[in-house]
Chain A
Amino acid sequence: MNDLAASAAAEWATLLNAALLGTDRRPLAPASPGWESVVVAPDQAIELLNRAAAVTTARRAGVQPHEAPMLAAPAPLDPRPVCSAAAAELLVLMLGGQHEALLPEWIALCLHAGLRVPHSLIPRLLLRGRRNPAFDHAIRAVIGPRAAWLAQAMPELAIAAAPKPLPAKTAPFLPPQPPLDSGAVVTAISGAFAERQATWAAAPQLRIAVASLHPEWLAALMLELNRAAFNPVTERTRVDLLGLARVRREMVAALQPAVTADGATDAGDGSLAADARTRVRLAP
């Protein structure tokens, strides 16, 4: 602390002591050298405020960097590329509670593509994993070594450096198995809306069905759902499933390079190719 800072600190302590008890009880001490008012106010309270304003301004305007604390060792390098911003946005959407049924598939696709999650999302994923061991096991594979580093760097998060062993009979956090005939599932879902059976109570089962469909059939499903006649009983479910199908298509496109008919990869806009194939299959 230099002389000016020490002088400001001493003057501030004087002012604070007087202000704490009040100038009615404790008369204001004379100003330290260099902190005298240009015009001394007759009212002690006003004089204290004047002097406090001068010291506050000096302290704030003269703010200096603090001494640097000890730095933690850098995290080990993860050579995998980070997933795209679009994929990260979808993950944030799911972590926020929307279309959570797709979370296992997101993790599986990310792992399959050899990508990792953005580091800024790791704390959120690890904190979620604290209350869901199966999720914790699955997500740590895409998080990589940064999880153990964070657990050590921020013990206040109470995150384990390594995932705890899964309790017996705990189901792994994996996407649902795809059906043998996705087309039949689309027909069944469409029929459920036609027969007014796609109520909100049935929505969880329908969501699992949509999450398990082969991705190529998602466009067909969306077409069928858009064609479905309005019905107040099933409308909420219809909108929910439409959103789920749309997000799943975006997720697949963002995390898995699509392969077109001629064998070329189309990582950026695979959904269009899928559209074209789907239209051909639906044609009578």
Chain B
Amino acid sequence: MTVQPTPEQVLSLAPDSAVGAAALALATPASWSFAGCDDQAVWGNYIAAAAEPYAVAIDLSDDIAGPAYRCTCPSRKLPCKHALGLLLLHANNGVMHAPRLPFAQQFMLRRGSRSQATDAATPELASVTAADDGVDSASMAVGAADRGASASLTGMQLPDPARSKRQHDRAERMRAGLQELDRWLADRIRAGLAAPELADISNWDLLAARLVDAQCGSLAGRVKRVAAKVGQHPQWHEDVLEELALMHVLAVGAQHTSSLPADLADGVHVATGLASAKDEVLAGVPTTAWWTVAGVSRTREDRITVQRTWLCASDASDPSGNITWAMLLSFGVFGAEATIEYNVGTVLQADLHWYPGGIALRAIVGREHVEPAPSTVAPQSCSIADALSACGWALAQEPWLERYPMSIHAVPAPLGNGRWALVDPTGSVPLAAGFAATAELVCASGGLPIGIVGEWSADGFLPLTMWADNMLSQL
């Protein structure tokens, strides 16, 4: 019979403080169904935001090696927040003795048989891990090898060979595509930006098509956006050189992600087109706050409409007035508009789960604690200098970032030649050249500051929403 752990002992097992904090929130009976325990194990089904509950089982029989965990969530943390949460509930005497559930029984049986065959299994696992670590491309497979190894250690099934092969094939295709992109970029620099090949859109389209074939969808989209900059204005060479250089960084970085810090590697993966699965994101530690839906921007890429919904949360108790931003990404295909889940101006209290990356920006909404309700109050704003500073920090983390949100309180002012800027006491930021609603912005302001939320990009600031006349207007 094992000794029941204390909550302090359980929390000391957390791989990081975030998991520990999240586990505390899950250590309530309401989060679990069919939770039970006996002298050797604890188990239960965590009621997740995903369609299926996560089956969690913990083996407490090994006093020397410590607990072993099994959870069907896709988290790469070990133990995950669900396992820790259940263990915390057990430590707080919140789990009743009960007959083992089938998955818990199976897990314990496998643990028992595995302990007898450890000597035979370990070299095989070690060889798999070593082989994966030796190839950079394998790390592109969203840490699949890591997850497989972790899963094996916790008694779950070994990685599916067919799945591993698919991931390896994809990584190889991506690597070939990235190498081709980098060769193409170098060729353009050798020939010069003034060479006529650069103005030939078919060259860009061909490259984008090859990147699509290589499953580097995000990079393909970026190539097309850069192609649109060619000849756009007299200084287009500068814009194109900047973008070519950043694509070079991505192409090289994506081939060496195993030598990058984990967050940066995740950011590179996303920028090249390797998105995380939704379930995996939902398994991460959420941020719970009151979120204001501050703006929506849409761009058209071929037959796809990309819609970004910007959410912001501000902590009134924070003297620095920092604003936390989140971006919900949705897509509309074949000319259809993307679904609008949250109207601009609504406020909701919800859990936001973050996609991995160098900066926490893209997110999905998990549990909604308070239903969205309309509000005409402008979100918290900051000075232009502070907003640009926050933008600069984000760009320092992920230089390939194409847009970053800003919430400011400013006055439009003319720059000349039909260009306008937004001004506050700390300076000004020019409006993006393609912004079509300058007159509406100027008229609503009437020469006085108004609340504006928009996106910073290399082309300038693109206003999305303004608050004037006690009502919000989408621009």
Q: Chain A: residues with CB nearer than 8 A to chain B?
A: 12, 15-16, 19-25, 43-46, 48-50, 52-53, 55-57, 60-75, 82, 85, 88, 118-124, 146, 149-150, 153-154, 156-157
Contacts and interface: CB of A to CB of B under 8 A. Distances in A.
Interface stretch (B73-81, B202-210, B295-303, B440-448): B440-448
A122 B444 CA distance: 8
Given A60-B395, A63-B391, A85-B471, A49 B185 contact: yes
B413 interface: yes
B470 A82 contact: yes
Given A24-B192, A53-B399, 9 more contacts: A22-B191, A52-B241, A53-B245, A56-B242, A61-B396, A118-B444, A118-B468, A119-B469, A120-B466
Contact of A65 (B428, B438, B458): B428
Contact of B245 (A25, A49, A88, A119): A49
30 contacts: A19-B192, A19-B193, A20-B193, A21-B192, A22-B190, A22-B191, A22-B195, A24-B192, A48-B189, A49-B244, A50-B245, A57-B395, A63-B395, A66-B427, A67-B428, A69-B416, A70-B413, A72-B413, A72-B414, A74-B447, A75-B446, A82-B471, A85-B471, A118-B444, A118-B471, A119-B443, A120-B440, A120-B466, A120-B468, A120-B469
B396 A57 contact: yes
B186 A46 contact: yes
Contacts of A73: 447
B91 interface: no
Contact of B444 (A60, A64, A120): A120
A67 B429 CA distance: 9
Interface residues of B, number: 61
A69 B468 contact: no
Contacts of B470: 82
Interface of B: 182, 185-187, 189-195, 237-238, 241-242, 244-246, 248-249, 384-385, 388, 391-393, 395-396, 399, 411, 413-416, 418, 421, 423-424, 426-430, 438-444, 446-448, 456, 458, 466, 468-471, 473
Given A64-B388, A74-B447, A157 B439 contact: yes
B190 A23 contact: yes
Nearest to B242: A56
B473 A68 contact: no
A199 B193 CA distance: 62
B237 A61 contact: no
A53 B249 contact: yes
A56 B187 CA distance: 20
B396 A16 contact: no
Nearest to B446: A75
A50 B248 contact: yes
Counting chain B CB atoms within 10 Å of each CB, the highest count among A48, A65, A68, A70 belongs to: A65
Nearest to B243: A56
Contacts of A43: 186
A61 B418 contact: no
Given A23-B189, A124-B440, A82 B469 contact: yes
A15 B241 contact: yes
Contact of B392 (A50, A56, A60): A60
Question: Interface majority SS on A: helix, strand, loop or mixed?
Answer: helix
A21 B443 CA distance: 46
A156 B439 CA distance: 10
Contact of B423 (A24, A71, A82, A85): A71
Given A53-B248, A146-B446, A66 B429 contact: yes
A86 to B, nearest CB: 11
B186 A69 contact: no
B428 A119 contact: no
Contacts of A119: 443-444, 446, 468-469
Contacts of B442: 150, 153-154
Contacts of B195: 22
Contacts of B416: 69
A69 B415 contact: yes
Counting chain A CB atoms within 10 Å of each CB, the highest count among B190, B421, B440, B466 belongs to: B190
Nearest to A125: B443
A154 B189 CA distance: 42
A50 B193 CA distance: 16
Contacts of A61: 392-393, 395-396, 399
B396 A19 contact: no
A57 B393 CA distance: 11
A146 B396 CA distance: 43
Given A49-B244, A74-B447, A65 B429 contact: yes
B461 to A, nearest CB: 11
Contact of A153 (B186, B249, B447, B468): B447
B186 to A, nearest CB: 4
B396 A20 contact: no
Given A21-B194, A88-B471, A123-B443, A69 B428 contact: yes
A24 B446 contact: no
Contacts of A66: 421, 427-430
B435 to A, nearest CB: 13
Counting chain A CB atoms within 10 Å of each CB, the highest count among B245, B391, B411 belongs to: B245
A37 B189 CA distance: 18
A91 B469 CA distance: 16
Contacts of A150: 439, 442-443
A217 B451 CA distance: 43
B443 A16 contact: no
Contacts of B399: 53, 56-57, 60-61
A49 B249 CA distance: 8
Nearest to B376: A85
Nearest to B392: A61
A102 B393 CA distance: 52
A122 to B, nearest CB: 5
Contacts of A20: 192-194, 237
A12 B245 CA distance: 12
A178 B385 CA distance: 58
A120 B473 contact: yes
A57 B443 CA distance: 36
Nearest to A62: B392
A65 B388 CA distance: 7
A68 B423 contact: yes
B423 A69 contact: yes
Given A20-B237, A25-B192, A57-B395, A149 B446 contact: yes
Contacts of A72: 413-414, 447
B248 A49 contact: yes
A274 B439 CA distance: 39
Given A19-B189, A49-B245, A63 B392 contact: yes
A53 B186 CA distance: 13
Contacts of B185: 45, 49
A260 B100 CA distance: 70
A138 to B, nearest CB: 19
